[in-house]
Amino acid sequence: MKILLNNENQVIPEPWRQGSLLFLLRDYFGLVGAKLGCGEGVCGACTVIVDGVAIRSCITSADSVQGARVETVEGLAGDGGPLHPVQQAWLDHAVPQCGYCQAGQIMSAVALLRENAQPTSDEVEDAMEGNLCRCGTYQRIRAAIHSVAEVKR
Amino acid sequence: MNRRDVLRAASGGLVAVIGLGAAVWSQVPVLPKRPAPTAGDAIGWIRFKDGAYELTLPRVEMGQHIATALKQVACSELHVAWDKVQVQLHDTNLPRVKATVGSESVAQFAEPLAQACASLRVAIKEGRDHGLVTVTPRPTSELSAFKGEGVVGVSPELVQGRDIVQGRPLYAADMVGADMRHGRVLFAPVTTDVGSRPVKWNAAAAKAVPGFVALVEEVPGPRGHTVGLGIIARHPDALSQIAEALAIEWDLDSAPDILDMEAAIDIDKALSPTGLKNAVMNDPVEEGAWDGSFRYDFAFAPHGQIEPRAAVAEWQNGTLTVWTGTQDAFYIRDELADRFGMAPGNVRVQSMRVGGAFGGKVLCRAEVEAAFLARESGTRVKVQWTRSQELSRAYHRPPSSHRVRFRLSEGRLTDWDHQQMSSHIIFTSAGIPAWMQAGTNLAAGDPGVARGMKMPYQVARARASYDLVRLPVHSGPWRGLGAGPNNLAIECTIDEAAWTLGADPVEFRLRHLQDPRLKAVLQRVAESSGWQGHAPNQDSTERKGRGVACGIYKEHSYAAVVADVSVAPDGTIRVTRLWCAHDCGMVINPDQVRAQCEGNLAWSVGLVLHDGLPVSNGGVVADHFSETPIPAMPEVPKMSVNLVERSHAPSGAGETVIVAGPGAIANAIRAATGMRPTRFPVVPSEFAL
Ligand code: FES
Ligand code: FES
């Protein structure tokens, strides 16, 4: 069973196929950016992009992504390369507080901006509604997303 | 099953069935030690080696960005560039530092660190390159950091910010590896006051789950009379499947002693003509007719942090190492040493970045569970609580019930009486047994419950008092302790007093305030929001209103907030705009002080609209995050934060705005609807047309 993970072909070994994509990424591949928050699709801390769509990896089974293209926050910037514009905007706006939700927030924002380079405020709210942040960084997340859209314009 | 069987092979892996015997440790809980830091301590925080500086952070980093602020202090005082100082998180080999609680990190740690850095700078200049430097404290006015030089007063890139946006391992649960085993200890979902143990379970079904490694019996829980059943698995996903397959039946020593918690703390049943047992303000206030009398009730409320607590434990040659995202690594170390009968020097606790704590990650729980399972399995074990465990086993903000009454004369408040029933916060029932709490009740009441009850308004006669009931759920510290609910009750009542007189609520407050810093933040927020009164504006569909509130946190930080809300015909409340003014004295990092204000404003929305944890029959009945909602992006409106900067010593910013945000929102709801919110979280249907 194979996946294209951050642009590299990877094989999912048997014992990991039955479990969730989240733990496959974290515990087998060591990609720990996606986090366990609620474990039931409510908080968005585990968000990764599968075939272009931001999904909740905690409620996605590993075997369901067979053959898919999976992107995690670790794959956004090339090795040692510059940060992805969304990551850079997150730093410029000093978005993270505790930071635990932020990989998920960034992946939702990346998926949104790929789909829609100039989202309206309402479209941003709709796309980000499922990514909760208890630290309350929403105002900065909005600003960071709009700043990336602005640069693309 | 024979509980004394040790390690026998079975199909599907090694099965450890281990009898640890009854808990043997002392019934006296280990209590956190809270020494104030000195300049002498601080020399252990900063080192110079091979031309570079290493700052070992004497605080826990949980999103308040104290790592950034203290690095700013160090760079400023050492007179070096930002990239010359590397920051690392501490472990318990550092001389003990107190828990990271109470928004006091800058107030208490910036100056000792600056003193140490100043002495280190001089020593290096004198040509020294090894050995311990003696700190010679100098007047604060001679410290570069306190003169606002260098990177103090600006906002450099966040320490660990680059790691966060790239998803690098920072948190306890991020420790992974092929040799890691995953553990969970299942306990009866009741308070630790009730003795409980598993009596029956389906071990065969558990062993059949792929990835099963072992069951560990008789894992002692907190306080010795609770016993859990531990499970160890090769894959984290297997844990929940094993837990389900076990279908454990629990034996409880008794039912919870209080089934109806709301009734147990009903303020109107407790109200006393002479005030309740613990007085915070104690002028003689006479009974008789009141001009206003308002009751406020607050639900039991979880912290709602996104990171469930996690710990990794490893034993090697009789020493124990634990990695954990806790607010007090030293307390965890002491408790682990106590539990396992070890010298504290043989236990090392490494503090990891915390994915949100808000007062909720002080006690030692996941750590002791991981350590037990690791000892029995001989491997590294990671324990990360499920959301359900977070809700049923952690401690939460206690529910509280308040009555606030006032009298007016000639446009002024003359009499004030605030009485409150609640449960313990500082002397949390999750850590302090009932017998010990009986002592703290007598000696100290609970300063956490009292926090914020001393209101800042000048009134001829003011009384505030409270009493405590030990509830059959775990209550404890939550952002701001009592200050959120207490100030909300106060600010709603002040608002009602202004309504009674037909006075402008800003002007009415100013009329009763003396503290110049509090007056200044109130005036500042009135200006920045263009305050022109409550501005109720009824149009055909939405009712709109504006509210204001202000307050002082821990007698040294000041905040005022203005809120706009809009209420739909069905009672749905939206907060549409927030303005805030904040004064915490001298500011090291203005952008991060703003970030803390923004976070507290989001918490204010949550406190009014959402924060609650369902309870029934004396226990928590919620299992899912969806049952304890926190504000999502569309619920948190645009906010403007205005910092009133001062030369006063820096105080704290992590909790201040919680004294004003909720009151402003509640007062805006009152302005919009004509109805005073009195239950928190509010019940929208009560505001339906
Ligand atoms: S952990 Fe997946 S949505 Fe919360
Ligand atoms: S930054 Fe802490 S939960 Fe979002």
The dihedrals phi and psi of B224, each to the nearest 5 degrees, come to 85, -25
Q: pLDDT at residue B8 above 70?
A: no
Each residue of B281-323: pLDDT tens digit?
999 998 899 999 999 999 999 999 999 999 999 999 999 999 9
B57 forms beta bridges with B89
The count of other CB atoms within 10 Å of the CB of residue A151 is 10
Ligand number with the minimum distance to the CA of A36: 1
Q: Bridge partners of B652?
A: none
Supply the pLDDT for residue B225: 86
The mean pLDDT of A43-53, rounded to a whole number, is 98
Model confidence pLDDT, tens digit, residues B435-475: 999 999 999 999 999 999 999 999 999 999 999 999 999 99
Nearest chain A residue to B387 by CA distance is A38
* DSSP output for B15-46: E------S--S-SSPP----PPP-HHHHTTTE
**From CA A89, how far away is CA B632, in angstroms rounded?**
21
Check pLDDT > 80 for residue A51. yes
- Give A106 Cα–ligand 2 centroid separation in angstroms: 12
Q: Is B15 contained in some domain? A: yes
Cβ contact B305–A139 (<8 Å): no
Indicate whether B389 belongs to any domain: no
pLDDT digits (tens, 9 = 90+) for B320-378: 999 999 999 999 999 999 999 999 999 999 999 999 999 999 998 999 999 999 999 99
Q: Above 90 in pLDDT, residue B548?
A: yes
Mean pLDDT, residues B17-26: 35
Angle at B50 between CA B44 and CA B55, to 5 degrees: 30
Residue B678, in any domain of the structure: yes
Q: Hey, how many other C-beta atoms are within 10 angstroms of the C-beta on B379?
A: 19
The response to whether residue A37 sits with its C-beta less than 6 Å from ligand 1 reads yes
How far apart are the CA of A50 and the nearest CA of chain B, in angstroms? 17
Q: How far apart are CA B689 and CA B167, in angstroms?
A: 47
Q: What residues of A are in contact with residue B162 (Cβ under 8 Å)?
A: 83, 91
Amino acid symbol at B137:
P
Encoded tokens for B365:
């729980």
The encoded tokens of residue B356 equal 């949100």
| pLDDT at residue A46 is higher than 80 | yes
CATH code, domain with B158 = 3.30.365.10
Beta-carbon separation of B308 and A91 below 8 A: no
DSSP state, residue A74 = G
Inter-chain touch A100–B306, beta carbons under 8 Å: yes
- Please give the distance, rounded to the nearest whole angstrom, from the Cα atom of residue A67 to the centre of ligand 1: 23
Range of the domain at B134: 39-165
What ligand has the least distance to the C-alpha of B65? 2
Check whether residue B233 and residue B357 sit in a common domain.
yes
Share of chain B above pLDDT 70, in %: 95
Q: Is the CB of A96 under 6 A from ligand 1?
A: no
Residue ranges of E strands in B73-226: 85-89, 180-186, 196-200, 212-220
Determine whether the interchain pair A129/B632 forms a contact, defined as Cβ–Cβ distance below 8 Å: yes
Q: Which of A65-69, B18-22, B76-80, B130-134 has the lowest mean pLDDT?
A: B18-22
Calculate the alpha carbon distances from B304 to A47, B352, B609 in Å: 18, 19, 14
- What span, in angstroms and rounded, lies between the C-alpha atoms of B144 and B77? 5
What's the confidence (pLDDT) of residue B540?
61
**A85-152: CATH architecture:** Orthogonal Bundle (1.10)
Residue pair B297/B679 in contact by the 8 Å Cβ criterion: yes
* Pair B306, A35: CB distance under 8 Å: yes
Question: Cβ(B393)–Cβ(B439) under 8 Å?
Answer: no
Which residue of chain B has the CA closest to A135?
B599
Task: Read off the pLDDT of residues B550-607 as tens digits, 9 standing for 90 and up.
Answer: 999 999 999 999 999 999 999 999 999 999 999 999 999 999 999 999 999 999 999 9
Q: What tokens were used for B427?
A: 């002397």
Are B73 and B193 contained in the same domain? no
- The pLDDT assigned to B27 comes to 54
Domain ranges, ordered by start, for chain A: 2-76, 85-152
| B466 and B540 assigned to the same domain | yes
**Average pLDDT value for chain B:** 92
Ordered alpha helix ranges (H), A27-120: 85-92, 102-115
Asked if residue B48 and residue B8 are part of one domain, the reply reads no
The answer to whether residues B178 and B134 belong to one domain is: no
Does residue B669 lie in a domain region? yes
pLDDT, residue B38, reads: 81
pTM of the model as a whole: 0.95
Work out the pLDDT band at B249, boundaries 50, 70, 90: very high
Is B140 contained in some domain? yes
Pocket test of ligand 1: the residue of A56, A107, A132 to mutate, having most ligand atoms within 8 Å of its CB, is: A56
Q: How high is the pLDDT of residue B533?
A: 79
What does the pLDDT look like over B652-685, one tens digit per residue?
999 999 999 999 999 999 999 999 999 999 999 9
Cβ(A100)–Cβ(A37) under 8 Å? yes
- 3-state DSSP assignment of residue A100: coil
Mean of the per-residue pLDDT values of chain A: 96
Tell whether the model's pLDDT for residue B23 goes beyond 70: no
Contacts of A98 in chain B (CB under 8 A): 62-63, 305-307, 353-357
C-alpha B599 to ligand 1 mean position (Å): 21
Question: What total number of domains does chain B contain?
Answer: 3
Q: What is the CA(B35)–ligand 2 centre distance, in A?
A: 30
Shortest CA distance from B601: residue in chain A = A136
Reported as half-sphere exposure (CB side, CA atoms, 13 A), residue B509 has a value of 30
pLDDT for position B32: 73
Token pair in block for residue B478: 């939550």
Of B234, B353, B358, the CB nearest to A99: B353
Give CA torsion, residues B161, B163, B165, B171, to 10 deg. Answer: -100
Rounded CA separation B550/B321 (Å): 45
CATH topology of domain A2-76: Ubiquitin-like (UB roll) (3.10.20)
My answer on whether B228 and B212 are in the same domain is yes
How many angstroms away from the CA of A153 is the closest CA of chain B? 23
In contact, B365 and B172? CB cutoff 8 Å: no
Mean pLDDT score, B609-621 = 96
Residue B29 has pLDDT above 80, yes or no: no
Residue linked to tokens 């001389």: B95
- Ligand 2: centre distance to CA B235 (Å): 26
What percentage of residues in chain A have a pLDDT greater than 90?
93
Mean of pLDDT values over A78-85: 87
pLDDT at B536: 60
Q: Which two tokens stand for residue B682?
A: 């509010």
Q: B260 near B266, Cβ under 8 Å?
A: no
